[in-house]
Structure 1
Amino acid sequence: MRCLLIITLLFIQSADYFVYSRRLLFGRPIDKHGFLGLPRTTLKQSEIESIAKEQWFEQKLDHFDPTNLLTWKQRYFINDDMFNRSNTNSPIFLQLGGEGEASAVWLKEGQIATNYGPHYQALQILLEHRYYGQSRPTQDMSTENLKYLTSEQALQDAANFIEFINEKYGLNKHKWIVFGGSYSGSLAAWFRMKYPHLVAGAIASSAPVQAVLDFEDYLKVVDESLGKKCVREIKSATDDLTELIKSKNNWPVIEKKFKLCTPFNGTNSLDVSNFFGNLAGNFEGVVQYNKDNRAFEGGSSITIDDLCSVMTDLNSNINSTDRLAKVNQILLKSQSQECLEFKYDDYVKKMLVVDFDKTEVPSARQWVYQTCTEFGFYQTSDRNDQPFGHYFPLDFFIKQCIDIYGSEFNKNFLEKSIQFTNNFYGGYNLTVSNVMFINGLIDPWHALGILEDLNPTAKALVMKKTAHCADMYPDSSEDPSELKSTRNVIKQMIGKFIQ
């Protein structure tokens, strides 16, 4: 699981996974674990499984059609090492899975397992989200089958699961707290809102609660995090590269500089859009996960400072385009990738694979489907004052929905779907109690989160120097003081929720 949600270069956590052109796809790293990357661990897989072996629960396929009696097996993990069953004050902590495969390592290395769980002698459970990982409600990911992939279905999955666990283990007197980061952070907040009789509270980390079609403010936050000097040099490089592309004679040079996997054709507008989106993604991905617990996310330790030091090194005797290419090379090397893929048709072809076991981009088809039917979240280049050019506007993202899922997934459909999502959950104006919203101002996703207290029990905690979901990872000696204090506040708030 990885804390959320660009269309930019893939963050690959293992060389075993196929690398397409983007490290982020609509803001989520394209590996099998999604936005909330796994905590680092020295444990072997067998040791992880001994902590919390995978278990399976008989789940309904369609919670909202009583005539549909089909069921499927949903995966979950339990760690009861610290649980004091005889003490009804010992709570149950449920970590909701998001847009990626769940892993028992969270029940050993995550902040819940190392901090909150031991403190409260809690039973810890991780529930995998339908259609991700091994929780497969249907035989494949055809567009027809993906109609059962919605946040509403996922919330009801969790509700059914809680009732199942309470009955199976006789835990009706113990209180539940739900946790989540990024998309699953939104789920945690929404779950408390929709099912307050089942859980006493929720911790929602980096949770984007407002669905939006054109998330142009994503790049606004990226720019603010990079700083004016760095942004100025990125814009200069983008402008120079734009001029180079106009001449066919420069295409082989661009191919070589940016280590492209295939020949560059400047007349293919979709490939050009992907190419510039990739270059923007080099910066977007680093900003989204800057510094805090990078080692725990399974990614590189590259920071904003590293990239901007390259872009602003005016004494290096290389021009701005070469500096932009150098940044790209750094990112490729950090992920052990030899070249950068950017062909739009290749991307669509791989996204059309509906077999769970044959896809080369685990979880990507599912997550993009959710953006096309519920959330939008398209990090476009539509802002006039951003430095990455205007090559990936809203229409570019809508075209992907149509090319991958069908002509009915057009702009009108997306607008109505997003309107429904905000009406159903409330967007920024959700009405909820006993929820803690945690955000970092470096994280671009904070622009869609709750940054001020909604009421005395729905509190917002904003950290100036942290990025996406940093509070969910294990402690580090390099953690900013505000991150440390935030974890203490979370621990205290959990105590208030279960009183």
Structure 2
Amino acid sequence: MAFEACRLPLCKFTLLFLFSLFVFGKTQHKGFGRFNQEQHSSTADVFGEQWFLQKLDHFNGADSREWKQRYFVNEAFYKPGGPVFLMIGGEGPANPAWMQSGTWLTYAEKLGALCLMLEHRFYGKSHPTADLSNDNLRFLSSRQALADLAHFRTVMAEDRGLTNSKWVAFGGSYPGSLAAWFRLKFPHLVHASVATSAPLHATVNFPEYLEVVWRSLASENAECPLLVKKASDTLFERLKDPKTYDNITKDFSLCSKLQIQTERDSAYLLETLAGNFMDVVQYNEDNRAFEGVVGTNVTIKVLCGVMGDTSLGDPYARYAAVSRLMMDTFSIKCLDASFDNYLRDMTNTSWEGAAAGGGRQWVYQTCTEFGFYQSTDSPNQPFSGFPLVFHVQQCADFYNVSAEQVAEAVAQTNEYYGSYGISSSRIVFPNGSIDPWHALGITQGTNPDLPAVFIKGTAHCANMYPARAEDLPQLTLARDHVFLLLQQWLKK
């Protein structure tokens, strides 16, 4: 499949859904995307989608409205009396490829588990409302999603005779957070959780993401992030001079001549191009092939190789070469660098809109719950020109949510869930050192009931993917350690 044009960051979320990378909308790194890929038809045929009647508003008893939520079942490994594994969907379509492959199924086969996967409300085919208007999006939150999980677990246990079974929640990225919070808020319903690459601390400003990108690039070559910074700084300066716009349009294969009317136009382009590095770092060498992902061959090593190739010209020219490499990888002919077009797509409230695959929904959740804005406000990162104000202003532009409301919502999230100080038991937190999201997770276990598994040299959710011969020894050990924990916990 080829794309005639690509509007980034919007396009990268679209690529995620179509090719299975990171989520639609604000580029892959903006969401997380463990389950944000549409299923392949052959897989869907084997694990047919099923539908669960769900409440629209779990916190208003006077509201009797209901809707149908999509889920999948794999009974191949189940043995009577065995546990129930519940994979939690996230900020995109639930992909039934996870019903036939992945580490959790290896655990399920060994433990005789029944496997279920529930799609997150407002993503994929799980449409609770007629459209994505601001008024309807008020029903989209992690709290409503946890209530969905609780109701689903209760009814499914009753219907399938699993009331006395021990349920284990699995999730990666945002669903990893949900897995931890499910155990926290509903300990009578879920016995244990595996919360992989789970950001537990909400924060409006998240420049630490780019700081980890710097360190991850430097782990390959100490000069690499310095070259990236020089290139990004050069582009940032050239964007101040309209005389450079024709050359920039050509250098980065923009779909139309670059027009910089406001600082957000500049920030949008700068963030888009930085996203090439952010996305590759986040999923560096993760084994995503079984999902049908394109671009897994583009790694930190590859990007740093381009940035170090003096035959391509100065660092700015090499930066442009990276962009062309990524476009070729995804069969993109030109980039739409217009923020106005992005604004148009993100404010389209139709389920048929360009951002309805997850971008409009996920950015709403960041504005009303999490923040997570990967700004260039830190001096210890390699990019220029997309500060916090650029991100927060989008909350007002898209949803009429002010900066003050964003800050208050983020504070309430940490108050409700506990941030790094989550108080619970039987939750394991695997994280990878290459993954920028580990900066908001638990990477050191201070409580034996809440162990951390910090895997050096691995990226986002690496332990969730199917094992392969070339896996790092520490990744294999991490998977084994999680399994031993599950064995122990299921005996309690």
For the aligned pair, the TM-score class normalised by the smaller chain equals over 0.9
CA contact 2:345–2:355 (8 Å) conserved in 1: yes
1:311 corresponds to which of 307, 315, 326? 307
Where does residue 169 of structure 1 map in the other structure? 160
Contact kept? 2:23, 2:359, Cα under 8 Å: no
For residue 436 of structure 1, report the CA deviation from its aligned partner.
Answer: 0.5
Residue 52 of structure 2 is aligned to residue 57 of structure 1: yes
1:8–1:279 contact (8 Å) kept in structure 2 = no
Which residue of 2 is the match for residue 475 of structure 1? 467
Worse-matched range after superposition: 360-369 or 275-284: 360-369
Establish whether residue 496 from structure 1 lines up as the match of residue 488 from structure 2. yes
- Other structure's SS at 1:59 match: strand
Count, aligned residues: 477
Q: Which residue identity does 1:204 align to in structure 2?
A: A
How far apart are the structure 1 equivalents of 2:477 and 2:422?
26
Deviation larger for 344-353 or 448-457: 448-457
- Distance (Å, rounded) in 2 between the aligned partners of 1:360 and 1:143: 14
**2:3 corresponding residue in structure 1:** none
Partner SS, residue 357 of structure 2: coil
Contact 1:8–1:278 (8 Å) recurs in 2: no
Q: Which of the residues 63, 67, 72 maps onto 1:77?
A: 72
Measured against aligned partners, the alpha-carbon deviations of 1:468-496 in whole angstroms (never above 9, x if no partner) come to 01111111222111111111111111111
**TM-score (norm: length of structure 2):** 0.92
Find the counterpart in structure 2 of residue 434 from structure 1. Answer: 426
Does 156-165 or 104-113 show the bigger shift? 104-113
User: Hey, what's the Cα distance between the residues in 2 that align with 1:425 and 1:146?
Assistant: 21
Match of 2:324 in 1: 329
Question: For the Cα contact (< 8 Å) 2:36–2:93, is it kept in 1?
Answer: no
Q: Indicate yes or no: 2:309 matched with 1:320.
A: no
Deviates more, 1:67-76 or 1:424-433: 67-76
- 1: distance between equivalents of 2:426 and 2:307? 44
Q: CA deviation at 1:361?
A: 5.0
User: Could you list the runs of 5+ residues in structure 2 that have no partner in the other structure?
Assistant: 1-7
Given candidates 238, 245, 248, the residue that maps to 1:244 is 238
CA distance in 1, matches of 2:290, 2:284: 12
Deviation (angstroms), 1:443:
0.2
CA contact 1:8–1:26 (8 Å) conserved in 2: no
- For 2:374, give the aligned amino acid: Q
Name the aligned partner's letter for residue 79 of structure 2: N
Name the residue aligned to 1:357. 352
State the secondary structure of the residue aligned to 2:168. strand
Distance 1:14 1:56 in 2: 21
Which deviates further from its counterpart, 471-480 or 213-222? 471-480
Q: Is 1:24 the counterpart of 2:19 in the alignment?
A: no
Q: Which residue of 2 aligns with 1:3?
A: none
Contact 1:8 1:25 survives alignment (8 Å): no
Say whether 1:343 aligns with 2:338: yes
Contact 1:441 1:462 in 2 (8 A): yes
Q: Residues 325-344 of structure 1: CA distance to partner in whole angstroms, max 9, x if unpaired? A: 00110111111101112111
What CA distance in whole angstroms lies between the structure 1 residues aligned with 2:23 and 2:338? 9
Matched residue SS, 2:428 = strand
Equivalent-residue separation in structure 2 for 1:474 and 1:26 (angstroms): 22
Q: Name the CA distance, whole Å, in 1 between partners of 2:241 and 2:52.
A: 59
Task: Tell me which of 180, 188, 202 is aligned to 1:211.
Answer: 202
Unpaired runs of at least 5, structure 1: 1-5
1:378 to 373, 376, 401: 373
**Displacement of 1:247:** 3.1
Is the 8 Å Cα contact of residues 35 and 89 (structure 2) preserved in structure 1? no
In the alignment, the residues of structure 2 paired with residue 347 and residue 74 of structure 1 have an alpha-carbon distance, to the nearest angstrom, of 29
Query: Using the alignment, how far apart are the partners of 1:16 and 1:200 within structure 2?
Result: 34
Does the alignment pair 1:192 with 2:183? yes
* Cross-structure match for 2:279: 285
- State which drifts further: 151-160 or 317-326: 317-326
Separation in structure 2 between the aligned mates of residue 13 and residue 143 of structure 1, nearest angstrom: 24
Counterpart of 2:304, as a letter, is C
Q: CA-atom RMSD, angstroms?
A: 2.2
Q: Which amino acid aligns with 1:177?
A: V
Q: Which amino acid aligns with 1:81?
A: A
Alignment match, 2:255:
261
Deviations 1:185-220 (A, max 9, x none): 000000001111111100000000000000010110
* Per-residue Cα deviation, 1:310-368 (whole angstroms, up to 9, x for no partner): 11223x15111111100110111111101112111100100111111333551111100
Q: In structure 2, what residue type is equivalent to 1:308?
A: C
> 2 CA distance for matches of 1:285 and 1:339?
19
What does 1:94-109 align with in structure 2 at a 5 Å threshold?
94-109=86-101
Superposition deviation, residue 110 in structure 1: 2.0
Question: Quick check: 2:71–2:118 contact (8 Å CA) kept in 1?
Answer: yes
CA distance in 2, matches of 1:358, 1:38: 17
Matches within 5 A, 1:359-438: 359-360=354-355, 362-389=357-384, 391-406=385-400, 409-438=401-430
8 Å CA contact retained: 1:78, 1:125? yes
**C-alpha distance in structure 2 between counterparts of 1:37 and 1:100, whole Å:** 4
Tell whether 2:447 aligns with 1:455: yes
- Paired residue type of 1:108: Q
After superposition, give the CA deviation of every residue in 1:207-261 in whole Å (9 maximum; x if it has no partner): 0000000001011000000113111111221232234333322211110011111
**Equivalents in 2 of 1:145, 1:292: separation in Å?**
36
Q: Is the 8 A contact 2:91 2:362 kept in 1?
A: yes
Shift in CA distance, 23/291, structure 1 to aligned 2, threshold 3 Å: farther
Structure 1 stretch 128-137 or stretch 245-254: which is displaced more? 245-254
Aligned residue for 1:271, secondary structure, equals helix
The more displaced of 434-443 and 392-401 is 392-401
1:137 paired to 2:135: no
Percent identity, please: 41
Structure 1 residue 37 displacement after superposition = 5.2
Task: State whether residues 79 and 123 of structure 1, in contact with CA within 8 Å, keep that contact through their aligned partners in structure 2.
Answer: yes
State the alpha-carbon separation in 2 of the partners of residues 325 and 21 from structure 1. 23
